[in-house]
Amino acid sequence: MTTDHSPSGRPRARALGIPFAGSPGRSNAITDVAGVEVGYVTLIEGEGELVVGRGPVRTGVTAILPRGRAGVGTSCSAGWYSLNGNGEMTGTTWISETGALSFPVMITNTHAVGSVHRGVIDWIVAHRPDLAMQWLLPVVAETWDGYLNDINGGHVRPAHAAIAIDQAHDGAIDEGSVGGGTGMNCYGFKGGCGTSSRQVAHGGSTFTVGAFVQANFGGRDELAIAGRHLGDLAVADPLADDGWWQRDQRRAAPGGAGSVIVIVATDAPLLPAQCSALARRVPLGLARTGTSGSHFSGDIFLSFSTADPGALDSRFPNDGDPPFASLTFVPWGHIDPFYEATVQAVEEAVVNALVVNQDMTGRDGNWTPALPHSLLLERMGTQ
């Protein structure tokens, strides 16, 4: 049975009866792709007025390990795509060059990319010194959490990246305000981490496509869920003078600004160009939730395949190497079901990030409400 509650006990979108197309995997998560592990470090500390370097702190780090800790250094076929470039994902030029991903994928806040990048290198030096003798180009992506978090305070340290890697696991994973998604907002509601998966039958086998989002994008008036426009939802704010919170009021998170990072994983054998093609389908899943892609949103996506481990490894040649390598792949003419699975999983992952969440107050009393379940169900006609 598909997991319909997060490990924290919070209901996910399916627990509310929200309908989605496609067949999810056991945990309905990116970790349904065998070998993929996800770990978090969540940093929440302090209340009240912003004091740079002291807080309040609402941030963290997410680690996605394509082959788990044991498989760090073994390549996956990979590709990436940027819908809008107001953001950062390090390591992508080497992925473009080689079509390969060999290290953990990390996600954090905009001003912590350097710390997390250093932390991945420190982890590899400590645990895989054999790999540390070559170039290390970790993938670190970001979205901006400065509305709720002391983003300039340097609270994310290299050690936090290493801890996130060490805590990564398979199976059901938390969503909402955890890890790198801790301080994020989405469609004017509390955003953050979300995940989903889909199963695809091909060639007598069943493959899995999983998506993970760090959702920090979209204006309140854009929101759509399961084909219903919900951009006029309003929720009570005890801090506002008139008792109501709306997108344009002083305490509202900035509509449209932010970013979204999406990681797509599959165990289906794909060429690097096919991984890039999956990444290019991510915006179609995001669009189902309402976004039109803001100029101030960094929308960057990465896709990888865990099939054919090591086939794309980049090593200095030696006399014992075989002269050729081979890579299995789904024929291009049969790729459409994997596109469809990507779009479906991305859509549900965003909604999970919204549904699992709770209200959060951050620096200077800035407040972001969670998506209200009762109003949502009323509008969806399921209550």
| Residue 317 CB partners (closer than 8 Å, separation 6+) | none
Among 263, 261, 274, 255, residue whose Cα is nearest residue 85: 261
φ/ψ of residue 132, rounded to 5: -70, -10
Among 348, 371, 342, residue whose Cα is nearest residue 226: 348
Q: Say if CB 27 and CB 197 are below 8 A apart.
A: yes
d(CA 180, CA 145): 9
Q: How many residues are given for the chain? A: 383
User: Please, what sign has the CA dihedral across residues 258, 167, 75, 200?
Assistant: negative
- Per the listing, tokens 């932010």 go with 258
259 assigned to active site: yes
Q: Tell me the CA distances in angstroms from 264 to 58, 90, 95, 143, 254, one per residue in order.
A: 26, 17, 15, 17, 27
Choosing from 145, 170, 299, 303, the catalytic residue is 299
CA dihedral in degrees (95, 141, 72, 268; nearest 10)? -60
Among 196, 195, 197, 66, residue whose Cα is nearest residue 139: 66
303 assigned to active site: no
Region class of 11: left (phi > 0), else alpha (psi between -120 and 50), else beta: beta
Among 200, 166, 227, 183, residue whose Cα is nearest residue 334: 200
Helices (H), the chain: 92-98, 113-127, 158-166, 272-287, 336-355, 373-380
Choosing from 75, 115, 297, 305, the catalytic residue is 297
130 assigned to active site: no
Choosing from 75, 177, 259, 276, the catalytic residue is 259
292: Cα within 13 Å, side-chain hemisphere: 7
DSSP, collapsed to helix, strand or coil, labels residue 110 as helix
Q: Say if CB 116 and CB 158 are below 8 A apart.
A: yes
29: Cα within 13 Å, side-chain hemisphere: 27
Catalytically active residues, by annotation: 259, 297, 299
